Amino acid sequence: MAVKLVIVESPAKAKTLNKILGKSYVIRATMGHVRDLPANSLGINIEHGFEPVYRLIPQRKAVINEIKDLAKTASAVFLATDPDREGEAISWHLIEAAKLDKGKAPLHRVTFHEITREAVEEAFRHPRLVDMRMVDAQQARRVLDRLVGYKLSPLLWKKVLKGLSAGRVQSAAVRLVVDREREILAFVPVEYWTIEAELKQKDKKNGSFRAQFIGYERGKKLPIPDKQRCDEIVADLKMSKYSVSAVDRKEVNRQPAPPFITSTLQQEAVRKLHFTAKKTMMIAQQLYEGLPIGEEGDTGLITYMRTDSTHMAATAIDEIRDYIKASFEGKYLPPSARHFSKKVKMAQEAHEAIRPTRAHREPVQIKKFLNRDQFALYELIWKRAIASQMSNALYDTLTIDIKAASPASKKSYLLQTKASSLKFPGFMALYIEGKDEEKDEFDEDQNVIPQLSLGEILELVQLFPAQFFTQPPARYTEATLIKALEQKGIGRPSTYAPIISTILDRGYVYKDGGKLRPEEIGMIVNDLLVSSFPNIVDFNFTAKMEDELDEIAKGKLKWSSVIKSFYGPFDNDLREAQTNIPKIVIKAEEKCPECGGPMVVKSSRFGKFLACENYPECKGKKPLNSGVRNGSQKEAPEGETPTEPCPICGKTMIVKAGRYGRFLACPDYPKCTGKMALGQKNWQKPSDSGNENSKMKASEEKCPECGSEMVLKYGKFGKFLACSRYPDCKTTKRIYKYHGKKVASEQGEER
């Protein structure tokens, strides 16, 4: 009996779908894209309509051959990649690479925003064709980014330093960080003063309270620029008579935040969980694709995590309201459902918000099946979604205006005191949104105000003048940078995390106590791009390009026309820059050990180093210790090229990031397996093999994820078993010695 072939991206997703669809379906994972532009050339035929020249990714050859064979005998082929432009493009590349449209089996595209039985079965009942408009939009983005990267990077190598690179959207993000740093450096503090008055009711010893000086009685604010002006006002206030001029009591509603979209999830995970955007998306992917949950088996726990829509399905809202009704008192459930349909500026995706697939699946019920990070993120998503349908919080607020009439100057001043208290928590009983600011209008005021009546006479107890200085704008954090990118229309849900990872890994930006600061090289590259390629780093232009990609996805623009209109001016700027930009020298603080002259950063085939400005006439040089800044240790950025050569092939080692930190590895790693710890100078090959990761068959075991052979590998802590497709397939097992026999643990990993 012919089976139906289903193709997805990841083994975890395949495993969850296998449980839902049953034995009549064969599910295979591609491990991501199967085709891409070539790594060692531009791969775009500029003279023929910017036609991309795709190549099969070598590591995907085996899975494509397997898919071809399975498709020959399948009764139908279903492409079930992710429901966004990237997923649509993967499906199209699969068709092209495996010639699926040439076979006899009918071809179907299915999409679902949550991996649950109901959603998957509904999707398979209503298949469609691949949407070439979405594919074209993804191709346009890929071609744009390739043109910018492959054309600008060689210019940076020639004019600044080898090993540098530039990106269309990432460069705009670097500019935000650089501009903010320069705002801070140029900031001039301005002095200002405030005055608080401690007042009490007449003829009463206790019950004093504080009021803030505002200005004149009519509400006109009166700035206090210096001590002299402050002393004048204080002298007048000391002689003034005080009375209550207005009492305003109000009940204020505070609405819950909408359910998460990609950007707000990343921002909140930074604030509350201290996750990077990259880590947030990695864990969210695991929750979406499915995890083993007791008797339920592999189950998708959240809806698709790349979205910019706050809309929730009616069935999901009904389920959430049922949960609130069953779990809270009646007043916590509003009379009608709350709808969040507004999308962010220039939104691309049109999915649901990020929410739990089951409202009644409380975090505490599944905590034992999740690791710490998975539980923390699931709890955050679950609470936010449930709280979004709960009643408003209610605050009692009190604002009292106080008149200070000076008989000496004949002036009447206004002082004001405020207090607020939570009357009913509503959604806040479950969840309170994090914030980047120190205080907002709903923060409870600790000021205790006695019962005051209109016209009541008050007595002055003491005045408290205080000097302050204005503060520079705050540096960006990951959360606030994502917020700024979103507000300016730069990037889309799938790009925020890669943008931040890229500018950090390239060494253009670094973290200082969680704040993003530009490296000197980041400022140099930014200034070069601003002066010679203004469109590349112009926020409005970058946002306009994103808008045009959206129009391509809607079928309103042709992708080749968009690329053509961009490339003409860009190519002209590039030609002028090649001629007009002088060589930029990066000077260091160190002095030449030979002649005492200034040292500059240079590069060679072995990486960056410090050399005398007169090198090679003066031979003074030393290694570039990029890990030290102002006496403190900083991690070398991923992708940086120290001077150590690969011990196997001789190529310059680069910094890579692994689960246990950063390490040096061959640029061709894992194909070439040379690697060593940062700072290590000597490398010894494992005695068991001439190649550290030789694919020596260790057992008859098969990979539990993809079915490939398990092979013997070597890691920092010794031998281990891994899938022969590692690192594309992440399955690994530890090897233990027990009574002279080697035993592989079931849940081991490379340590």
Going along the chain from its start, the domains and CATH numbers come out as: 4-130 (3.40.50.140), 139-186+497-580 (1.10.460.10), 199-254+394-431+440-456 (2.70.20.10), 262-387 (1.10.290.10), 687-751 (no CATH)
The band of 561, judged by pLDDT with boundaries at 50, 70 and 90, is very high
Residue 735 binned pLDDT confidence (cut-offs 50, 70, 90): low
Instruction: Identify the residue with better confidence: 583 or 720.
Output: 583
The percent helix, strand, coil of the chain (3-state, each to 5) is 35, 25, 40
Range of lowest pLDDT (125-139, 176-190, 729-743): 729-743
d(Cα 153, Cα 155) in Å, to the nearest integer?
Answer: 5
Q: So what's the pLDDT on residue 659?
A: 46
pLDDT value, residue 52: 95
Rounded to whole angstroms, the maximal C-alpha distance in the chain is: 103
What SS3 class is residue 639?
A: coil
Whether 669 has a pLDDT exceeding 50, the answer reads: yes
Beta bridge partners of 221: 215
Note the pLDDT tens digit of each residue in 243-282: 999 999 999 999 999 999 999 999 999 999 999 999 999 9
Higher pLDDT, 158 or 728: 158
pLDDT of residue 686: 39
Give CB contacts under 8 A, 24+ apart, made by 638-643.
Answer: 638/504, 638/505, 638/662, 639/163, 639/505, 639/506, 639/507, 640/163, 640/507, 640/607, 640/608, 641/163, 641/603, 641/606, 641/607, 641/608, 642/607, 642/608, 643/606, 643/607, 643/608, 643/609
* The pLDDT of residue 699 is above 60: no
Q: Which of 643, 175, 676, 244 is nearest to 450 (CA)?
A: 244
The encoded tokens of residue 39 equal 């790594």
Specify the higher pLDDT residue, 202 or 619. 202
Structure confidence at residue 315 (pLDDT): 93
Band (pLDDT 50/70/90 cuts) for residue 334 is: very high
Higher-scoring residue by pLDDT: 717, 645 = 645
- When mean pLDDT is compared across 6-20, 41-55, 340-354, 610-624, the lowest value belongs to 340-354
**Nearest partner of 477 among 517, 524, 434, 417, judged by Cα:** 517
Residues 6 or more apart in contact with residue 70 via CB below 8 angstroms: 5, 26, 28
Q: Are 260 and 252 in contact (CB under 8 A)?
A: no
Residue 320 has pLDDT above 90, yes or no: yes
Convert the pLDDT of each residue in 401-439 to its tens digit: 999 999 988 899 999 999 999 999 999 999 998 876 655
pLDDT for residue 635: 39
- Which tokens go with 272? 């509350």
Q: Which residues pair with 7 in a beta bridge?
A: 28, 79
For tokens 């398979």, the residue is 124
* Cis peptide bond prior to 686, omega within 30° of 0: no
413 belongs to the catalytic site: no
**Is the predicted pLDDT of residue 689 greater than 60, yes or no?**
no
Catalytic residue among 25, 242, 304, 510: 304
319-323, 658-662, 712-716: range with lowest mean pLDDT: 658-662
Question: Distance between CA 716 and CA 673 in Å, rounded?
Answer: 12
| Pair 369, 293: CB distance under 8 Å | yes
Compute the C-alpha angle 643/644/649, nearest 5°.
Answer: 125
Q: Answer yes or no: are the C-beta atoms of 270 and 277 closer than 8 Å.
A: yes
Three-state DSSP class for residue 561: helix
Task: Tell me, yes or no, if the pTM score tops 0.85.
Answer: no
Q: What is the pLDDT at residue 502? A: 92
Q: How many CB atoms lie within 10 A of CB 678?
A: 15
pLDDT at position 717 over 90? no
More confident residue, 734 or 633: 734
CA distances from 403 to 210, 412, 420, 457, 549 (A): 14, 7, 21, 10, 59
Q: Is the pLDDT of residue 83 over 60?
A: yes
Which runs of consecutive H residues, i.e. helices, occur in 126-212? Answer: 132-159, 168-186
Separation CA 359–CA 327 (nearest Å): 11
Q: Report the candidate in 94, 89, 80, 100 with the shortest Cα–Cα distance to residue 135.
A: 89
Please say if the pLDDT value at position 647 is more than 80: no
Residue 724's pLDDT is 74
Query: Residue 653: what pLDDT?
Result: 75
SS3 259: coil
Q: What is the mean pLDDT of residues 644-673?
A: 69
Please say if the pLDDT value at position 303 is more than 60. Answer: yes
Mean pLDDT of 630-654: 53
Question: What pLDDT, on the 0 to 100 scale, is given for residue 590?
Answer: 79
- Which of 201-205, 369-373, 459-463 is least confident? 201-205
Q: Is the pLDDT of residue 632 over 50?
A: no
CA atoms of 503 and 522, how far apart (whole Å): 9
pLDDT digits (tens, 9 = 90+) for 19-43: 999 999 999 999 889 999 998 899 9
User: Tokens 């035993």 belong to which residue?
Assistant: 743
- In angstroms, the CA 625 to CA 616 distance is 20
- Judge contact between 266 and 495, C-beta under 8 A: no
Q: Which amino acid is at 596?
A: G
With a pLDDT cut of 70, the percent of the chain lying above it is: 85
pLDDT in tens, 514-558: 899 999 889 999 999 999 998 888 999 999 999 999 999 999 999
- 3-class state of residue 257 by DSSP: coil
Mean pLDDT of the chain: 85
* Preceding omega of 670 cis (within 30 degrees of 0): yes
Range scoring the smallest mean pLDDT among 63-72, 190-199, 584-593? 584-593
Phi and psi for 72 in degrees, rounded to 5?
A: -65, -35
> Closest Cα to residue 140, out of 510, 565, 480?
565
Average of per-residue pLDDT across 598-622: 77
Quick one: which of 512, 271, 298 has its CA closest to 376?
Answer: 271
Report how far residue 456's alpha carbon sits from residue 207's, in angstroms, rounded to the nearest whole number: 14
Q: Which of 109-113, 434-438, 470-474, 510-514 has the lowest mean pLDDT?
A: 434-438
